[in-house]
Amino acid sequence: MIHTIEINGIKLYAYHGCLPEEGKVGGNYIIDVSLKTDFSSAAISDKLDETIDYVAVNLIVKEEMAIRSKLIEHVGQRIVSRIRREIKGIVSMSIKVTKVCPPINGDVDNVAIIIEG
C-alpha cells in the first residue's frame, strides 16, 4: 500500500535571498512536506519505528533552513536530499518552500518552489 504523511505549515524565520539585506533582516517562510510511504505495519502495531517520524523530518527542515542560501530552490533541494539520505521508507515526496512577502517591488503575498520526486 501507499500512504501519505504530511507535515504542513512549518513556519520558520530564515535569511535566504540574493539581496544583502535579506541576509541581515531575514523573512518568514512556510514549508510543506508530503511523503509517500507504506505505514501498514505501524497502523497495526502502533510502533513509531515502523513509520516515518515527522519530528525527525521537522528537525531536518529547521536545520537546513538555518543555513543561508541565495535561492529557495537551493535550500529546497538540500531539504529533499537530506530527507532522502536520512529517512528510510520514502517512496516519493513533495516539498514546498514558500517565501512570505518577498522583496520584489510588487504587491505579492508570497513566492514558492515545489520539488517532487
82 pLDDT more than 90: yes
CA distance 30 to 32: 7
Which residue segment(s) compose the domain that 39 sits in?
3-116
Indicate the number of domains in the chain.
Answer: 1
CA distance 24 to 115: 27
CA distance 8 to 58: 10
Task: Express each pLDDT in 27-40 by its tens digit.
Answer: 999 999 999 999 99
Tell me what pLDDT residue 50 has. Answer: 97
Q: Which CATH number characterizes residue 59's domain?
A: 3.30.1130.10
105 pLDDT more than 90: no
Place of cell 504542513: 8
Task: Express each pLDDT in 57-70 by its tens digit.
Answer: 999 999 999 999 99
